[in-house]
C-alpha cells in the first residue's frame, strides 16, 4: 500500500508539473542531442530538463509566462550584462529588446547535458533583422548565432544562469560591426 501511495503522489506531482497546456512538455523545444548523468533518477533528470525546456521555449517564442515558470524568484544571472536588471525581470527585458530587432527570433537546442544539478545547453538562434537595434533599422537579412548556457536547477526552477553568446557574429550579421 505504501508503494502505491508513493507512486500516486509522484504521478500527481508529475501531472501538476506539466498539467497546464501552456507548459505541456510536448510544446517545449527538445534538445537534438541529450546526455544525462546516469547518477540522476529519471524524475530528477526530467524536472531539471523541464525547467531548461521552459526557458528554451521563452527564448523561442518570447512568451514571458515560460520565463516566469522556468526561473526561480531569486534567479541570479551570473554574468549580468551592464544595464540589465538582476532577477527574472532581466531576461524578460533582454528578450523584449532583442525581439524588437529580430521579431521572428527562434532557438533550437543543438545539445544539452543534464549533470548533477545543472543543465548545460548549446543553443542556436535564428531569425531576420527586420526591426530596430539601437540606431540600426533592419533590412530583413537573416541572422544566426550560437550561445552556451549553464543553468543551476533548484526545486524545479533555474536559480542561476551563466551564459555566453556569440555577440560578434550577431553584430556582424546585422551590420553593426564591419569585418576587416
Question: What does the pLDDT read at residue 17?
Answer: 45
Rounded to whole angstroms, the Cα distance separating 71 from 58 reads 11
Q: Where does residue 91 rank: exposed (0-12), middle (13-18), buried (19+ CB within 10 A)?
A: buried
- What's the half-sphere exposure (Cβ side, CA atoms, 13 Å) at 147? 21
Span 148-158, average pLDDT? 98
State what percent of residues in the chain have pLDDT above 90. Answer: 83
Q: What percent of the chain has pLDDT over 70?
A: 86
Q: Which domains does the chain have, with CATH numbers?
A: 2-173 (3.10.450.50)
Task: Give the separation between CA 114 and CA 116, rounded to whole angstroms.
Answer: 7
Quick one: pLDDT at residue 26? 53
User: What's the pLDDT at 128?
Assistant: 98
11 pLDDT more than 50: no
- The confidence score (pLDDT) of residue 31 equals 97
Is residue 160 within 8 A of residue 144, CB to CB? The reply is no
Whole-model pTM?
Answer: 0.84
Residue appearing with cell numbers 542531442: 33
- In the block, cell 536547477 appears at 153
For the stretch 36-92, pLDDT in tens is: 999 999 999 999 999 999 999 999 999 999 999 999 999 999 999 999 999 999 999
Amino acid at each position: 500500500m505504501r508503494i502505491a501511495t508513493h507512486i500516486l503522489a509522484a504521478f500527481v506531482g508529475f501531472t501538476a508539473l506539466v498539467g497546464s497546456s501552456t507548459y505541456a512538455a510536448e510544446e517545449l523545444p527538445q534538445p537534438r542531442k541529450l546526455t544525462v548523468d546516469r547518477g540522476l533518477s529519471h524524475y530528477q533528470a526530467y524536472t531539471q530538463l523541464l525547467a531548461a525546456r521552459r526557458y528554451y521555449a521563452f527564448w523561442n517564442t518570447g512568451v514571458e509566462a515560460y520565463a516566469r515558470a522556468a526561473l526561480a524568484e531569486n534567479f541570479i544571472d551570473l554574468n549580468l550584462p551592464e544595464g540589465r536588471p538582476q532577477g527574472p525581470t532581466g531576461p524578460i527585458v533582454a528578450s523584449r529588446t532583442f525581439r524588437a530587432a529580430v521579431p521572428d527570433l527562434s532557438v533550437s537546442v543543438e545539445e544539452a547535458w543534464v549533470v548533477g544539478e545543472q543543465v548545460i545547453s548549446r543553443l542556436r538562434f535564428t531569425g531576420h533583422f527586420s526591426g530596430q537595434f539601437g540606431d540600426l533599422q533592419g533590412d530583413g537579412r537573416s541572422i544566426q548565432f550560437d550561445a552556451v548556457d549553464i543553468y543551476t536547477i533548484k526545486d524545479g526552477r533555474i536559480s542561476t544562469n551563466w551564459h555566453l553568446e556569440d555577440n560578434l557574429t550577431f553584430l556582424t550579421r546585422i551590420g553593426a560591426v564591419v569585418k576587416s
